[in-house]
Amino acid sequence: MAVQRAGSGSEPPYLRIVREIERRIHRGELRPGDRVPSIRQAAAQWGVATATATKALDTLRRRGRVMAVPRVGTVVAGPAPVSAPAPAPRPGAGRASRERRPVAAGQNAERERVVHAAIAIADAQGFEAVSMRGVATTLGMPTMSLYGLVRGKEEMATLMADTVFGELELPQEPPPGWRAHLELAARLQWRLYLRHPWLPRFMSLTHPQPLPNMLRFGNWGMSAVLGLGLDPEAARVVWWALVNHVRGTATNLEAQHDAERHTGLSPDQWYNAHLPSFHARLSTHTAPLDDRLQFDLTAFFEAGLRLLLDGVAVQIGRQHRP
In the predicted model, is pLDDT for residue 237 greater than 70? yes
> Whole-model pTM?
0.66
Q: Provide the pLDDT confidence category of residue 208 given band limits of 50, 70 and 90.
A: confident
Q: Provide the pLDDT confidence category of residue 178 given band limits of 50, 70 and 90.
A: very high
Alpha carbon 256 to its chain centroid, in Å, reads 18
The C-alpha atoms of residue 261 and residue 69 are separated, in whole angstroms, by: 33
Tell me the H-state helices in the chain.
13-27, 39-46, 50-62, 108-125, 132-139, 143-146, 153-165, 178-195, 212-226, 232-263, 267-273, 275-281, 297-320
The C-alpha atoms of residue 289 and residue 147 are separated, in whole angstroms, by: 53
Please tell me the predicted confidence (pLDDT) of residue 70.
59
The C-alpha atoms of residue 148 and residue 144 are separated, in whole angstroms, by: 7
In the predicted model, is pLDDT for residue 88 greater than 60? no
In this prediction, residues 36-53 reach a mean pLDDT of: 90
**CB of 74 closer than 8 Å to CB of 67:** yes
Least confident of 142-156, 173-187, 270-284, 294-308: 270-284
In this prediction, residues 116-135 reach a mean pLDDT of: 93
Three-state secondary structure call for residue 75: strand
Q: Provide the pLDDT confidence category of residue 320 given band limits of 50, 70 and 90.
A: low
Q: What is the DSSP letter of 67?
A: E
